[in-house]
Chain A
Amino acid sequence: MALVVEEAHGQRIAAATEAAQLLGARPGMRLTDARALDPGLQVVVADPAGDAALLERLARWASRWSPLVEIDGADGLRLDASGAAHLFGGENGLIADIQRRLSSLGLSSRVAIACTPGAAWALAHHGASAAQSCPVDATAARLAPLPVAALRLPPEVTRTLERLGLKRIGTLAGVERRPLARRFREADNPLDALDRMLGRKAEPLTAIPDDPPPRALLRLAEPVSDPAAAPQALDLLVPGLVKQLEARKLGARRLLLAGYRVDGEVAVAVAATALATREAKHLHRLLADKAGTLDPGFGFDGFALEAAWCEPLGAGQDGLIGGPPPALEVARLVDRLSVKLGPERVRRPQPRASHLPERASGWRPALEPAAECMAPPPTAPRPPRMLDRPEAIAVIYATPEGLPRRFVWRRAVHDVTRAEGPERIAPEWWRERSTARLRDYYRVEDREGRRYWIYREGLHGDGRGGDPVWYLHGLFG
């Protein structure tokens, strides 16, 4: 049986069972080639994402043996066993425990303990036995018979080494350093790899990140089924959470109040904020209503308040002339409205880069950060009030492209005393139909001094419809 991955040039074997390897299938081979050697080859599509997720779960699980676990490539884990092995009866005991537990999960494994991560990797991948622990003084001797591929260099470097006749680590270690250093100058050079392997150069492990979010806990001696319990618990929890946020210089963007019920269920209330904050009063206010609606069931025996999403927040100062800055006030209003009405119902205007006036602005959920938008070029001013839908008007004007003289809007006649324009805006050809017409915008003022923003859609003889049509699009002042 073999696992295959889909590639640009057909399916390629990612891994093969021993039985399949005996019949000629090799990892990296094309599936068609392997099928030619062994027509009975069974194929399953590989799931790299699933494998990676499994490896990560395994890494967390492996922290039972060592506090420092690192995921290594697609199929390896590295554990820092120093000071941990004696808990399992020495290094051999640790290896036996690892092998036993992994095989009970149905995984086959190769385990090696050595004084450096590089040496352990080499022994685990290329060593003679499936499990070995290598004493410090025997490292060089144990590594010597391994192929240079065990140095874990890029394939081309390995190939160069093999072409030079340096097929074993022992041979390489015997060569004088200077000529080697002259030949391999890249970052991944065999000398460095060898040094790392033998502990002459440091290679620290990076542990899987483990940074629990700020969280305040409250355990109750007796389960309470009173609905008022949750708001009361909130009173107690918020100061604790705020203290943690302060210590870590964080501000909460999303809060999670969890009530643990005696029957094993968890009731959760969530609130989000538009600006990172750690103000106790504000946080309390956001969650207070929702906390009251948590269903106690048979009773809560514990509460947790967690800042599930935090952002760095330094200490800020309020405005000098009393009261918080207006932006903060707006953010708090947005938070309260979002909690009451639902986050998708509170929106803020968002400028967009488009020459078409009705496309130059849109809406975004208020809790989302504002998108970057380039500043519009200096053009004729836009009216402060735009109609949602331009209204057709009848206009008397000097054809073909003269200024408007008089127009009728909502059955009222307006004599144009002043006009300025046109500002010509062509359709966005990449998203509109080919029959879309350009617009000539004019600013006009009627006899009463009222100013309007009107446009003529199309030109005479532009081949996109009949006579141009006039619309009123906005009002000035």
Chain B
Amino acid sequence: MPEYTGFSRKKLVLGDGEALPPIPPAPFVELGVSSPFSFLRGASDAIELVLTALEMGMDSIGIADRNTLAGVVRLHSAAKGAGMRPLIGCRIDPVDAPSLLAYPIDREGYGRLSRMLSLGKMRCEKGECDLTLSEVALHGEGIAFIAMPAADLDAFEAALPAMAAALPGMKHIAAAHLYRGDDLARIERLDRLARAHGLTILATNDVHYATPDRRPLQDVMSCIREKVTLATAGYRLNPNAERHLKSPAEMVRLFERWPHAIAATRAFADAIDFSLDELRYEYPRESVPGGRTPQQQLAHLTWIGASKRWKEGVPPRILKQLKHELALIEKLDFARYFLTVHDIVAFARSLDPRSCARDAAARRTARSVIAWALPRSTRRPATCCSNASFPRSGKSRPTSTSISSMSGARK
């Protein structure tokens, strides 16, 4: 079988790196978007979705994959590359209630949403998620929910009171033109239902692909998911190709009778105050005892380690190198990373005294004398004899160093 080579993740960059002109706000924001991370459901990747949305004049786009946040980074980077505003969320399928779109309003809400998903996924097989409505409610603070009715409205109507009571953050019911012949009656009924519970309907097109010509791909993916052939799939496939991104003007036309459903999308998007840019890696705080800054703690540990290793006094050249590296680490605000790896190694040593840091990031930092001084690596660092390559690379490319070490620290 030929290997597929030359694969690299595509990146969307428009306008040659210059600042893109701001897009005027559109009346409608699509929030029910499935990307390929809704496995075998979404048929258009983030870049396709963003480019199509951009062409249609949308200024923001949501992402709500089934029970996962895995696809949000791609949509975030693609939308940023196109000058659009990404709205980060996910679609939750509770076992005992209709589906929900969940959009965190702030950083804390995002944390709770992630924790909720981890809770649901860790108790079942890979690819599945087992959450109940009460668990969603438990983690629901700081998250805006949208109820997503399925085809059977009677069941939805029966489940809605319990949902509205459990989730005070749920203010909307999603309404979509399904083109099943009863859209008018259906959306009208949803509207009445929403009013009765003090909610509003919110227009969406339950997007599964960017353009209608993606329907064949989506049908084939559905067949793979259901393990049938196209000829025998029958009613498992969608009857039409309407699950694509529709322009704000088209959506306004479709929801002519319910302008508040369109306005709700705009208001919903404007109320979200969270972006993936807010996320930073956070090192554990336990590695620093109280009363010291991380840098002080690192220096403290380094001098203890150095005095242990060079029993007859630290040679002047090493002393100079250590001071130089400590200064550099202080400049890059990097001490927490060293302390965390030190913690991990100390823990490994407590289990098996022979173990030493062998992961990629530790190997990289083992070239530092500090790593040698801290009882981490048993290998003699190259910097002892030659000029320090770690500090040099750190100086020239601080970001790349920090990223690679972050990935190591996660291990």
Contacts and interface: CB of A to CB of B under 8 A. Distances in A.
B181 A429 contact: no
For the complex of A and B, 4 pairs with smallest distance between CB atoms: A353-B234, A380-B181, A423-B181, A424-B179
Interface in B294-309: none
Given A378-B152, A429-B216, A422 B179 contact: yes
Range of interface residues on chain A? Answer: 20 to 34
Contact of B181 (A353, A376, A441): A441
Contacts of B239: 355, 379, 423-426
B157 interface: no
Interface string B81-99: 0000000000000000000
Contacts of B12: none
B42 to A, nearest CB: 19
Interface of A: 352-355, 373-380, 420-426, 429-431, 438, 440-443
B319 to A, nearest CB: 62
B234 A420 contact: no
18 contacts: A352-B234, A353-B232, A353-B233, A353-B234, A353-B235, A355-B239, A379-B180, A379-B181, A380-B182, A420-B182, A422-B179, A423-B181, A423-B182, A424-B179, A424-B240, A430-B219, A430-B230, A440-B179
B181 A421 contact: yes
B325 interface: no
Given A374-B235, A429-B215, A423 B230 contact: no
A425 B231 CA distance: 16
A207 B400 CA distance: 75
B216 A424 contact: no
Nearest to B232: A353
Contacts of A379: 180-181, 239
Given A380-B180, A420-B181, A443-B181, A426 B241 contact: yes
Contact of B180 (A423, A431, A442): A423
Contacts of B242: 424
B184 interface: yes
A377 B230 CA distance: 17
Contacts of A421: 181
Contacts of A440: 179
B1 interface: no
A447 B121 CA distance: 58
A424 B215 CA distance: 14
Nearest to B220: A430
B185 interface: yes
Contacts of B351: none
B181 A422 contact: yes
Contacts of B235: 353, 355, 374-377
Given A420-B181, A421-B181, A424-B179, 19 more contacts: A353-B232, A353-B233, A354-B234, A355-B237, A377-B235, A378-B152, A379-B181, A379-B239, A380-B180, A380-B182, A420-B182, A423-B182, A424-B240, A424-B242, A425-B240, A431-B231, A438-B240, A440-B179, A443-B181
B151 interface: yes
Contacts of A354: 234
A356 B301 CA distance: 75
Interface in B213-260: 215-216, 219, 230-237, 239-242
A374 B226 CA distance: 13
A382 to B, nearest CB: 10
